Structure 1
Amino acid sequence: MSKNLTKKIVALSVASLLFGIQQLRAQTASADASSADGKNILKWNVAALATKSYSFQYERAVGNKVAVAIGYRFMPKSGIPFKSTINDWVDDEQTERTINNFKTSNFAITPEVRFYVGKGIFQGFYLAPFARYAKYNGEGPFQYDITQLNLSETIYFKGGINTYTAGLMIGAQWKLTKLLYLDWWIVGPNYGTAKGDLTGQKTLNALEQAEFKKQLDDFVEDLPLVHATAQVDGNGANIHIKGPWAGARAGLNIGFRF
């Protein structure tokens, strides 16, 4: 190898090293500047009020364009949100009556990682893969008819469903003032599994079991979005839910940076 070629290789290596150091310093300076107002944002999803829910999220920067976040949402016990829309999907009067009288509550925990594709952390469009655990509780009366005896009976169901899903959020975040931010969750489809039971206790004779089973089967077949099966015996009934679960996240958040 000639002496001139060796010098060129050494010079190129030194230049590359100096360029790498310069880039690292620039990124460090950029990260320091971006975190001057704080690496954290605490947010409230005001749009969740439309579903009778309270939703909050904590986000922390861990890189120039990467952040991690954890969300918590809960809904106190109340009627099912958007009952009229859900009832549009069913064609059975019994199912509609049960939905109208049903009470539900829930909470969800949602960790996510955010990758900002804009000019820096906490600003612009982002992609956020996430996981979610949610627990849904429900209770309500189910009315059934015993036609042979011209009677109507009621059994009260109570129970819960656990869901585990994962998905991808597409969103955008804007800086409104030095410390105030607006975070728009455009859409976050998610998919996973669900499992749970609703149980009703009531002493039933053979005739009541037969009539109740037929009407309960019709009810669970008309339930939208979930797969359910019903069992009836002399002590009452159980609705077992197990299978796929799909959902979507959306929202509009006001955040404070610190």
Structure 2
Amino acid sequence: MKKLLLCAVTALIFFNAKAQEVKSTIKINPLSALLSTGSVFYERKVNEGMSVQLGVAYTGVKLDDTKFNGLAITPEVRFYIKKHAPTGMYAAPFLKYQNYTISDHTDKGSYTSFGGGALMGHQWVYNSGFTLDLFFGPSYNNGKYKATIGTDEPDIKGGIEGFGIRTGVAIGFGF
């Protein structure tokens, strides 16, 4: 009888337990690895309808004959449509700062840019804490190149300069 009562009380506690509210997530974008880039995002809930996120990425990508090495920082503010941050559909303006060393066969220099854009996305945070974030939107970056070897500016393209698309799939953990 004691075992049955203990099992019943344990089951009641287990089934009535409320999941802890997720206030933060930490995520990575596994698709960025296809471009020789590693990116990490930290998101923090501000209130029911809003969160802030900071993304940091390091790249060593090569586009055609041009190699980019360096860091990008992307802060954003997320506005959740149904006011259940950090879960659900959101709209997010973002800024982006990039600082790269750029080189091709004959020239080398540094490139610094500043830009921004807007995203639409949807984030799921499961009871286990697993987080899945899908996002997509336009961006624009404008920067300056300063030569250290040679005089020609390497070809800067691929969404690093000018108009581009910011898209991704981020996976991680909510706590």
Percent pairwise identity? 31
Matched, 1:189 2:172: no
2:138 maps to 1:174: no
Q: Name the residue aligned to 1:11.
A: none
- Seen in structure 2, the aligned counterparts of structure 1 residues 66 and 74 have a Cα distance that, compared at 3 Å, is same
Instruction: Give the alignment's Cα RMSD to 1 decimal.
Output: 2.6
Relative to the length of structure 2, the TM-score reads 0.78
Q: Answer yes or no: is the 8 Å Cα contact 2:124–2:132 preserved in 1.
A: yes
Q: Alignment length, in residue pairs?
A: 156
Cα drift, residue 198 of structure 1: 2.8
Q: Provide the residue aligned with 2:33 in structure 1.
A: 49
Going by fraction, where is helix more abundant, 1 or 2? 1
1:105 is aligned, of 57, 69, 94, to: 69
Q: SS where residue 178 of structure 1 aligns?
A: coil
Aligned to 1:128: 92
User: How many Å apart are 1:130 and its aligned residue?
Assistant: 0.7
Deviation of 1:106 after TM superposition, in Å, equals 2.6
Counterpart in the other structure of 2:4:
none
> Which shows bigger deviation, 117-126 or 38-47?
117-126
Runs of 4+ off more than 6 Å: none
Which whole-Å CA distance do the structure 2 matches of 1:224 and 1:165 have between them? 15
Alpha-carbon distance between aligned partners in 1 of 2:139 and 2:50, rounded to the nearest angstrom? 21
Higher CA-based Rg = 1
Which blocks of at least 5 consecutive residues in structure 1 are unaligned? 1-32, 84-98, 142-155, 202-212, 227-243
Is 1:79 matched up with 2:62? yes
1:124-151: CA deviation from partner (whole Å, max 9, x where unpaired): 210001111011211232xxxxxxxxxx
Q: Which amino acid aligns with 1:197?
A: K
Q: Which deviations, in whole Å up to 9, do the C-alpha atoms of 1:143-163 show, x marking residues without a partner? A: xxxxxxxxxxxxx31111111
Q: 2:37 aligned with 1:37, yes or no? A: no
* 2:127 is aligned with 1:163: no
Over 3 Å counting, the alpha-carbon distance change for 1:40 and 1:224 in structure 2 is: closer
Corresponding residue of 2:170? 253
Provide the C-alpha distance between the structure 1 equivalents of 2:141 and 2:103, rounded to a whole number of angstroms: 24
Shift of 1:44: 0.7
AA partner of residue 109 (structure 1): I
The answer to whether the Cα contact below 8 Å between 1:190 and 1:248 also exists between their aligned partners in 2 is yes
Q: Give, in whole Å, the separation in 2 of the partners of 1:224 and 1:168.
A: 22
Which structure's relative contact order is higher, taking Cα pairs within 8 Å and 6+ residues apart?
2
Q: Kindly tell me: are residues 119 and 62 of structure 1, through their superposed partners in 2, closer, same or farther at Cα, counting changes over 3 Å?
A: closer
More strand per residue: 2
CA contact (8 A) 2:110 2:148 kept: no
AA paired with 2:32? A
**Could you tell me whether the CA contact under 8 Å between 1:163 and 1:245 is conserved in 2?**
no
Distance 2:99 2:118 in 1: 20
Determine if contact 2:50/2:83 at 8 Å carries over to the other structure: no
State TM-score, norm by structure 1.
0.54
Structure 1 residue 176: Cα displacement:
3.2
1:176 and 1:48 map into 2 onto residues whose CA distance is 23
- Paired residue type of 1:122: P
Q: Structure 1 residues 75, 253: closer, same or farther in 2, change over 3 A? A: same
